[in-house]
Amino acid sequence: MHFFNKFYEVKGLKVSESTSMSSTVGFWAVFALLLLALAASWATASAVEDTAEDLIDMGLELYQNRSYQEALKAYDQALFLSPDDVRAWMGKGKVFSALGDYNQSILAYQNATRISPDDPEAWFGVGLNRFLLQDLNDSLKALDRALEMDGNYTRAWELKSAVLAQMGKNDEALEASKRARMTSGPSDTEMLSHSWVSESFILRQMGRDGELLAALENATTLDPQNYDAWILLGEALQGRGEYDRSLAAFDSLLSNIAPTSPPFLALVLIDKGSVLIDMGRYEEARGLYQQTIDLDFSLDPLDQYYLGRAELGEGVSLLRLGDYGEALEAFNRSMEAEPRLADDAWRGIGDARMGLGFYEKALQAYDTALEIYPESVNAERGHAWKGNGDALMAIGRDDDALLAYQNASIAYDLAIEMPDQGRQSYPLNGEFWLNRGAVLEALGLGAQAEEAYGKAREMGYGN
């Protein structure tokens, strides 16, 4: 099993990708907040004498220190003295956006555009917060206004690329991303690197995997400290079956960046463990998951999510090692730490119960997983339907088993046609093709089964 979720920290601001894991919206929202954080770091305060300007400078400093309520007070005091000060309104806009109050942020930026209709940064602020509210059409309009004022506005081009990608306009999104890099200074390697990361998501949506890999390699070359780029590169290589290179990417991340906080370190160890499972190195994978579980996790929801994922990974390792009783306990601990992982955990419980010969109970577990899995998660639903069919076959309900296998085949076909990129990086891994082959074989489709088995073997999975 390979489970996809990202955690980013931008300039000290923690943002988690969509916890439902049902779409790629989370990444683009994170990227938009990255642009906001970079905007704060680029802002400069001029030395002036009057009190309103002093308060604005104070507000900026408080904002950069994440003292948001105090920053709002400083900006409000400045506006009391100078109601039409554009800097104060835009400062309020940034603070409200950091607090997640995007509607109030838009109002603040709109005041700025009223006072200074030719200010591209004010229009960018409107576009950013419209995007965070998923008001894509109005976001695009605001960004176009910003670019009318300044055609070399790098952040506006970058955000426009994200908006267009969300709208499914991938070709236009790619062009906007290229324009962002053209307008960015060559020394701004951080922004250039993140631009390549965002472009990799567009290329992935377009199915251009070779270019996706090149984009991520560009990102890591430009900024070897780009945590997200290394994670995505490792996952992309894993998805292509290039396991040794994938491990090297994760090892580079561990040695070059050396993340120490539990969420950061956990994500690297969990992803590396997933690669080791694909390589059949189950004991090593289990060791990494144990190392992850032993981290000093807090009760913070994000920490508990990664603890749950580590328990889930350990359960998979134990399944592969044939230790079904221990695997059951690991899957149950996974749900206790993070209930949102229950669908994968119940499928794992079904596999463990099958290994123990508890076929009726295994059937119940697979049915529970199928009730919980989102309709869009076709690869995982296919695996659960296959397990369902195996359990039915084991208890002599052959006709029902064939129906389950047919449902599994339909789910696998959908996974190939419409892979759910929001939940997983690359669900069509060796396990997928191996299970698909078994289902097709059970349905008497020998030639198609052998084709699926062949793809599994290419990715290191035996028949």
Task: Please state whether the predicted TM-score (pTM) of the whole model is above 0.85.
Answer: no
Compare 137 and 188 and report the one with higher pLDDT: 137
Of the three residues 183, 217, 245, the one that is the final residue of a domain is 183
**The one-letter amino acid at 146:** A
Mean per-residue pLDDT over the chain, rounded = 85
Number of alpha helices (DSSP H) and beta strands (DSSP E) in the chain: 23, 2
Residue 83 lies in a domain: yes
Return the ∠ at Cα 18 (arms to 275 and 156), rounded to 5°.
105
Residue 279 lies in a domain: no
What is the residue range of 45's domain?
A: 22-183
Residue 367 lies in a domain: no
Question: Domain containing 102 — which CATH number?
Answer: 1.25.40.10
The residue written with tokens 């990086």 in the block is 425
> Residue 50: which residues within 8 A CB-CB, separation 6 or more?
none
Compare 418 and 270 and report the one with higher pLDDT: 270
User: Across-strand partners of 8?
Assistant: 15
| Structural domains counted in the chain | 2
Compare 461 and 173 and report the one with higher pLDDT: 173
**How far is it, in rounded angstroms, from Cα 119 to Cα 62?**
24
**Nearest residue to 246 (alpha-carbon basis) of 232, 227, 225:** 232
Residue 344 lies in a domain: no
7-10 and 13-16 beta bridge pairing: antiparallel
Residue 6, pLDDT above cutoff 50? no
Residues in the chain: 463
Which of the residue ranges 56-60, 320-324, 415-419 would you say has the lowest mean pLDDT? Answer: 415-419
Residue 80 lies in a domain: yes
Mean per-residue pLDDT for 339-366?
Answer: 97
**Around 278, how many Cα atoms within 13 Å sit in the side-chain half-sphere?**
32
Residue 360 lies in a domain: no
**How far is it, in rounded angstroms, from Cα 231 to Cα 351?**
29
What is the phi/psi pair of residue 447, to 5°? -65, -45
Of the three residues 183, 211, 230, the one that is the final residue of a domain is 183
Question: Could you tell me the two tokens for 383?
Answer: 């695996």
For 130, the enclosing helix (H) or strand (E) is helix 120-132
Confidence of residue 33 (pLDDT cuts 50, 70, 90): low
Question: Could you tell me the two tokens for 153?
Answer: 């506005």
Of the three residues 183, 212, 241, the one that is the final residue of a domain is 183
Residue 241 lies in a domain: no
Question: CB neighbours (10 Å) of residue 77?
Answer: 18
Q: What is the CA radius of gyration of the chain?
A: 25
3-state secondary structure of 260: coil
Question: Domain containing 378 — which CATH number?
Answer: 1.25.40
Cβ 302 vs Cβ 263: under 8 Å: yes
**How far is it, in rounded angstroms, from Cα 450 to Cα 32?**
45
Question: CB neighbours (10 Å) of residue 375?
Answer: 10
Residue 40, pLDDT above cutoff 80? no
DSSP state of 279: T
Q: In this predicted structure, what is the pLDDT of residue 72?
A: 94
Residue 418 lies in a domain: yes
